[in-house]
């Protein structure tokens, strides 16, 4: 089988590393992890890994998940603080623990146990954006005499949380290797200025990420709360299982989303998908979204437009 690799547009920086693995017969799982790590290292991407925008308290909290379509095993971390390679922590959860998802202090403890380097993920740029954009705009009565945010008022500030796709985007990687094995990886710092501890769809298997060798894989960016409620990534794979062609499966999963939102035209959702034959499909409710991909016939990866699928009420 010829390998295939696709990613959300910000996966561009990881395409070479991921393809280098697939090109020599390496596994889809290793490829999607390697590609994602490059994005997590990119300080200019403010919605993934190092340099990600922080939560309402100014802390960077990362979510990530990885799924092996061969074994149907998965690993994930949520609200991980202090370790940039959330995808590799998720991979080790899958490989070493009888669990799927670790969050918060437990995820950080595990990252430390497996020898990951602890560091401050808040870059000066991200901190500046936080101070200018959010912290400085919070009303005075959100702070105590020392200037610290008053914890029990934080919920009032969640209206300031923003969809990070306006500033960058979560990263999705999907691959099929020479053995026909499929893997998927998703990593994000989530919505900027989110309530501390908020998890999006990225670490939720079935919501933002799903892979199954028998049918295909899908991964999402956009409104995580919606993908969680609608089980969007798993829906695509189930539609494939029911015999729909890849594009029809993506269209069906997107059509499902309309029922979950009073004003579906507001929804920002994007998805990349792959079937077991190596066909690709990338869709978005926005006309401007692109994705990157590479097949064995190509000398370099290419960026191209997604299929525009606005949600109709
Ligand atoms: N889906 C991500 C989340 O909800 C954010 C995004 O992709 O824009 O955390």
pLDDT in tens, 245-260: 999 999 999 999 999 9
How far is the CA of 313 from the CAs of 252, 259, 265, 269, 271, in angstroms?
Answer: 14, 7, 8, 15, 19
H or E stretch at 284: strand 280-284
Task: Using the predicted structure, report yes or no on whether residue 110 has a pLDDT greater than 90.
Answer: yes
Pocket test of ligand 1: the residue of 208, 229, 268 to mutate, having most ligand atoms within 8 Å of its CB, is 208
Q: What is d(CA 155, CA 1) in angstroms, rounded to the nearest whole number?
A: 51
Pocket of ligand 1 contains residue 11 by CB under 6 Å: no
pLDDT at residue 259 in the model: 94
Ligand 1 centroid–CA 19 distance in Å is 25
Classify residue 271: in a domain, yes or no.
yes
Q: pLDDT tens-digit profile of 50-74?
A: 999 999 888 999 999 999 999 999 9
- Terminal Cα distance for the chain, rounded: 41
Classify residue 98: in a domain, yes or no.
yes
pLDDT at residue 165 in the model: 43
Atom from ligand 1 closest to the CA of residue 165: 8
Atom from ligand 1 closest to the CA of residue 225: 4
pLDDT at residue 160 in the model: 65
| Residue 308: how many other CB atoms lie within 10 Å | 12
Classify residue 73: in a domain, yes or no.
yes
Among the listed residues 36, 170, 188, 232, the single catalytic one is 170
Range of the domain at 25: 4-308
Pocket of ligand 1 contains residue 202 by CB under 6 Å: yes
Q: How far is CA 127 from the centre of its chain?
A: 22
CATH assignment at residue 162: 3.60.20.30
224 and 232 Cβ atoms separated by less than 8 Å: no
Classify residue 299: in a domain, yes or no.
yes
* pLDDT classification of 129: cutoffs 50, 70, 90: confident
Q: pLDDT tens-digit profile of 131-143?
A: 877 766 666 666 6
Classify residue 33: in a domain, yes or no.
yes
Work out the mean pLDDT of the chain and round it to a whole number.
Answer: 92
Classify residue 146: in a domain, yes or no.
yes
Pocket of ligand 1 contains residue 232 by CB under 6 Å: no
Pocket of ligand 1 contains residue 170 by CB under 6 Å: yes
Classify residue 94: in a domain, yes or no.
yes
Atom from ligand 1 closest to the CA of residue 208: 1
Classify residue 313: in a domain, yes or no.
no
pTM of the shown model: 0.94
Ligand 1, atom 4, residue with closest C-alpha: 224
Domain count, the chain: 1
CA dihedral 202, 55, 88, 14 (to 10 degrees): 80
pLDDT at residue 164 in the model: 43
């Amino acid at each position: 089988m010829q390998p295939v690799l696709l990613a959300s547009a910000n996966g561009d920086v990881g395409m070479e590393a991921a393809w280098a693995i697939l090109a020599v017969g390496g596994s889809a799982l290793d490829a999607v992890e390697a590609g994602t790590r490059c994005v997590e290292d990119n300080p200019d991407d403010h919605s993934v890994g190092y340099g990600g925008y922080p939560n309402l308290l100014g802390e960077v909290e990362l979510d990530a998940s990885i799924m092996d379509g061969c074994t149907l095993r998965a690993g994930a971390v949520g609200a991980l603080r202090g370790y940039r390679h959330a995808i590799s922590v998720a991979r080790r959860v899958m490989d070493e623990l009888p669990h799927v998802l670790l969050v918060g202090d437990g995820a950080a403890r595990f990252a430390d146990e497996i020898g990951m380097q602890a560091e401050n993920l808040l870059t000066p740029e991200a901190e500046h954006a936080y101070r200018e954009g959010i912290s400085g705009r919070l009303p005075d009565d959100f702070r105590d005499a020392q200037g610290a945010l008053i914890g029990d008022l934080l919920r009032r500030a969640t209206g300031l949380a923003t969809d990070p796709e306006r500033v960058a985007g979560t990263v999705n990687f999907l691959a099929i290797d020479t053995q026909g094995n499929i893997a998927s990886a998703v990593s994000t710092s989530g919505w900027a200025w989110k309530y501390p501890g908020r998890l999006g769809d990225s670490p939720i298997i079935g919501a933002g990420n799903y892979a199954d060798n028998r049918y295909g894989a899908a991964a999402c960016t956009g409104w995580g709360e919606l993908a969680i409620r609608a089980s969007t990534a798993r829906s695509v794979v189930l539609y494939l299982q029911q015999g729909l062609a890849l594009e029809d499966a993506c269209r069906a999963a997107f059509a499902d989303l309309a029922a979950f939102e009073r004003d579906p035209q507001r929804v920002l959702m994007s998805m990349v998908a792959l079937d077991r034959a190596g066909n690709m499909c990338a869709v978005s409710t926005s006309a401007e979204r692109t994705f990157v991909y590479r097949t064995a016939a190509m000398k370099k990866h290419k960026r191209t437009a997604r299929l525009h699928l606005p949600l109709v009420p």
